[in-house]
A and B are shown apart, each in its own frame.
Chain A
Amino acid sequence: MALLDVEDLSVTFARRGQRTVRAVDGVSFSVDAGEVVGLVGESGCGKSVTSLAIMGLLPKQPGLQVAGKAVFDGTDLLQIDERSRRDIRGRDVAMIFQDPLSSLNPVVPIGLQVTEVLTRHRGMRGEAASKEAAQLLDRVGIPDPKRRLKEYPHQLSGGMRQRALIAMAVACQPRLLIADEPTTALDVTIQAQILELLKDLVRDSGTALVMITHDLGVVAGMCDTINVLYGGRVVETARRRPLFRQPRHPYTVGLLGSVPRLDAGRGERLNPIPGSVRDLLPWPDGCAFAPRCDRRVDACLGEPPELVLTHDGRSYRCVNPAPLPGLTSGDEVRAAVPGQATPGSVPAQAVPDEPPAVPGLAAAPSEEETP
């Protein structure tokens, strides 16, 4: 049995006088012990809301509805009361956030913030707690940990802050670690350090890791299984190599075609996905990706595409998937997508018969920029 089983999770934000937003719309995935699972997608696809819902960290507000199941080791995290959830959170399941400066308390020394976890979950106090905290900082590669314990977050560099956050997360040797864009705010060289650290931690302690990111490169180097999200649903699930070699869902194909590669030759044009993440079809009306998809057929509209399971354990949600090339070459998959996505083509009007949509009033969440 899997360590974490998320089944049909959906999160709805309803506000009076505003359209209801289904941020997560039936996400299912599972994480085995010791496995690294990636949730990949662009902003607005629901990857962060998924993780916050699992952790029970969504701000309590009227109109928030969380449905579905998130079974961690036999307990449904969505059903238990706040007190028992607090016991699990930090001890069995821990989280690393994107922006370390805003997730650390600026007026409390680092040491106190790390010992807080130890006191709450492991009942350590005083000298023992600070000694353990220093060891934790040392383990995540913070030089001179004893002095660092007395320092405040602003005195640390971005990379060091992220390390401190990781130290807090691994303080109780959790069985599941959720990392939400852990390196997005960092420079590449620091990103490489942090990813290497996360890899080491996972390898040494057997912790399962859910890696939430928009960066396909990070996923390629770290994850065992990858879930690609679009419009609040998982559109493709596959092991690492098959996903990159033979992406089946047109969105995955498009994502891979959009990323300039460091090892590619100069002058190769990118194959972007036309339109923007806002051109979203509500799932009940068909495939959410259909307005931007170049493999769109009539069957895409009307009802949401079923999840197709294939023999090798992968699955995708598409009625007209990219063909499996006879030869396993990434280029052929890319070639299957015609390069009709010229930059000149006007976005926001990808569905031909629709009137020109006013971009600001589209149904999808309007955050498109990554912060």
Chain B
Amino acid sequence: MGIDQIHHTQHVFRKILDSMAKPGTISTITVNEESKKRQLSCYDTTLLAALTLLDAEVTFHILPADQIELKEKISQYTLAQHAPIEEADFIIAVKGCAERELVDAMLVCKNGSLIDPNGSATWIIEEEHLSNQGGLTLSGPGIRSEAELHISFTLAMTAARQEKIKEYPTGIDLLFTDEVGQLACLPRTTTVIHAEEVK
């Protein structure tokens, strides 16, 4: 596969951890040249994140639903089982996932319970390009005062996320990946103000 399952996944994990601990921080991971030969319908960053976090003990779901080949490949690479949205531990939304499909899935995915808030789904969402200019204004734990993160999150998506996290500590954690090896996170503790809301 051309990926060092020990050191590469450790490197990716530390970048995810850094971005999760400091929401809005964009981390860059080393994307292996050989990975381009794999011709999967997801970014290498997404595949690396999946290889880092998934194994036979967890389940995943892929959006949009027609990504059958990717579903099989990720299952083969990680040994994780594909599961319905309502049961999946990880939900991977690859580029081209329609807003409606993503919002609907977000509203029904696992949210954890007040007793076990860790039983919620973690999302891996593909973005065109991550940047720190404009877009969402973030505040909360891990952020000194405020941070900016530019993602193509629509108002409906922000509203769906808000619906899921309104009863903190239950809620979902989001990991965004892009084509050039960048990733950023929005844990449930982050307060998000959409640029359009400010207008």
Question: Does A associate with B in a complex?
Answer: no
On A, residues with C-beta under 8 Å from B are: none
What is B's interface to A at a CB cutoff of 8 Å? none
